[in-house]
Structure 1
């Protein structure tokens, strides 16, 4: 009689079961906490509490963290933990914005949380002559007119200087009997122009472009004035 031997593979050894830490047990959820800046109390982010390894059911709340719902934020605001540490105070956040002093219009970058103090505004002045009145910048008409008069005075003085230099050179040519007919005519034209300049009354009003006399060589004069006024 033939005997059939059935070979049975030995079973693999079983790993011993390891108990999970209490905080990893099914159904265990760590509480959510809100973290704030330790100096200002500003909300930073939300995270989870840490488990206490030797105290089942005990969760460790980090310093400057609170077990409350996170704030609902939008652009331009920030949240600060309130005095009772059970809610949030929503405050304006202008950090990084350019603000302007209402007395001079000088710009500066803002770095603090909260409302702007008196004397500062987010509105930019439209000109260097604006003044702050109530809730807005208002152009100072007198200052604008005075600035325009100063520019006009400067232009008048420079144009007179240029014409005087031209007259001096041309007069030398005439005195030395070296002047051409064109130079004699130019001498007269520059003298007339200088007289017309001297008769301009800039104290009463700022002259318009049409109020200025035409020089014998406007192109050369304009180029020289540009080099002096810029």
Structure 2
């Protein structure tokens, strides 16, 4: 009687990751010699995390991978970006790829950001990278008020700003020449304001001295010099009151001399 033919010593199997089911590659299972020798049973020793079910022959598409579903005993196709180069769309820096089986998060992209030049940053538009002007940290000036404006956001410079500082408050922005020019009305307003503030300051000084000296005279405590000074300061305050009547006021003022 002829003995049965011994089966092949090995049988093809495919290994998969224990945690994700990811296909790791083809391997072989070896024939169980004891089972064969005992009762002629053909049995192969299949290690854990391996299957004799052959995965699909076609290679998975980009971003996909073969995964063994132990519950169904079948292979399925899942997302696979675990070895891909990815970039964070919020920082434009290399990111950490997702685990096998996980979809690509919204904050990651497979597209590498472009190289930036000085004064540029990259921003994610939702579909691709865009080069955006970056003027953060620069100092500009309002063409309307002349006040300093700090740029704190990326993007083009807002309208109505210039990098040229306003020379002084008598200048206004001329959109025709693109520069600051002397404005007659502003100059007059500034002259009036300065004259009024300076007159108020000098008058207050005079009034303070007059009050003290007048008290000394009223209390018969004043020296001859203090009595004379009281008259000088009163005269000085009267002369100040007549400053607005000067012919060149407020453009040119002839201020009375302070009392000695």
TM-score of Structure 1 vs Structure 2, range by shorter chain: 0.5 to 0.7
How far the C-alpha of 1:205 sits from its partner, in A, is 1.4
How far the C-alpha of 1:22 sits from its partner, in A, is 6.6
How far the C-alpha of 1:126 sits from its partner, in A, is 5.5
Given the alignment, which residue of 156, 160, 170 partners 1:115?
A: 156
- Separation (CA, whole Å) in 1 of partners of 2:152 and 2:242: 55
Q: Which residue of 1 aligns with 2:251?
A: 205
Q: Which residue of 1 aligns with 2:225?
A: 182
Greater fraction of residues in helix: 1
Consecutive unaligned residues of structure 1, counting only runs of 5 or more, are 1-17, 38-42, 54-58, 218-230
How far the C-alpha of 1:162 sits from its partner, in A, is 4.6
Aligned length: 181
Consecutive unaligned residues of structure 2, counting only runs of 5 or more, are 1-14, 26-81
Greater fraction of residues in strand: 2
More RCO (CA 8 Å, sep 6+): 1
Q: Which residue of 2 aligns with 1:63?
A: 106
- Separation (CA, whole Å) in 2 of partners of 1:82 and 1:181: 86
How far the C-alpha of 1:51 sits from its partner, in A, is 6.1
Does residue 193 (structure 1) correspond to residue 229 (structure 2)? The answer is no
In the superposition, the TM-score normalised over structure 2's length comes to: 0.48
Does residue 214 (structure 1) correspond to residue 257 (structure 2)? The answer is yes
- Separation (CA, whole Å) in 1 of partners of 2:113 and 2:136: 21
* SS in structure 1 of the partner of residue 86 of structure 2: strand
Taking only aligned residues, the RMSD between alpha carbons, in angstroms, comes to: 4.5
Does residue 52 (structure 1) correspond to residue 93 (structure 2)? The answer is no
Q: Which residue of 2 aligns with 1:92?
A: 133
In the superposition, the TM-score normalised over structure 1's length comes to: 0.53
Computing the radius of gyration from Cα coordinates, the structure with the larger value is 2
How far the C-alpha of 1:91 sits from its partner, in A, is 0.8
